[in-house]
Amino acid sequence: MLHLHHQPHLLESGCDEAGRGCLAGPVFAAAVILPGEFENDLLNDSKKLSEERRYELRPLIEKEALAWAVGTASHEEIDTINILNASFLAMHRAIARLKIQPELLLIEEIDLRNSVRLHTCIIVGDGIYLSIAAASILAKTYRDDYMLQLHEQYPQYNWDKNKGYGTAAHRKAMKEFGLSPFHRKSFHLHDEQLKIDF
């Protein structure tokens, strides 16, 4: 059973990102503020849920949340400022779009830089707090939707299945067809196995 509150006297927003380890496409982040009475036994870390369950939960989260928002950082921004800073940027954008501003940010794993807000970094927080789990689901599903759109333009990379992650089929397609305009170029191709160094 995931926890609802970290500090019950403060208005909390869970934050998480999706796509940080991908070879193509943007990084997405989401921020979610859940009401004090929120309960849902199905809600969990998006990585522990099936695709079907994630898409079942997304409209429920959006309906029940006091506020939610999604932010992105493009593949160009990733190449310019690196993937870690781009993840921070996407989170800042998501938080800034919340219609209610939180008093405390609960953030999955990474310590949010350049934030004047009270925040705490929680390792595997998406498996501990409902608001982070909700944010992980929104970030994941909205990014997956975006990669499905890109797949229609570039079907040779199998983004409908790998969503831009470095699967064997994706790496094989990169060697065969080269890089698309949406591939991140801030990694190094060392040999025929396409070893990735971020």
**pTM (2 d.p.):** 0.89
b/e per residue 102-135 (b: at least 16 CB within 10 A): bebbbbbebebeeeeeebeebeebbbbbbbbbbb
Q: What is the pLDDT of residues 60-99, one digit of tens each?
A: 999 999 999 999 999 999 999 999 999 999 999 999 999 9
DSSP 115-175: --S-EEEETTGGGTBHHHHHHHHHHHHHHHHHHHHHHHH-GGG-HHHHTT---HHHHHHHH
d(C-alpha 170, C-alpha 77), whole Å: 22
Show the tokens assigned to 167. 């699967």
User: Which residue segments constitute the domains of the chain, with CATH numbers given?
Assistant: 12-177 (3.30.420.10)
Laid out side by side, the sheet with 104-108 consists of: 67-73, 27-33, 12-18, 104-108, 119-122
d(C-alpha 60, C-alpha 141), whole Å: 13
For residue 193, pLDDT over 60 is answered with: no
Q: What is the pLDDT of residues 13-71, one digit of tens each?
A: 999 999 999 999 999 999 999 998 898 899 888 989 999 999 999 999 999 999 999 99
Which residue type, as a one-letter code, is found at position 128? I
Contact 124, 101 (CB under 8 A): no
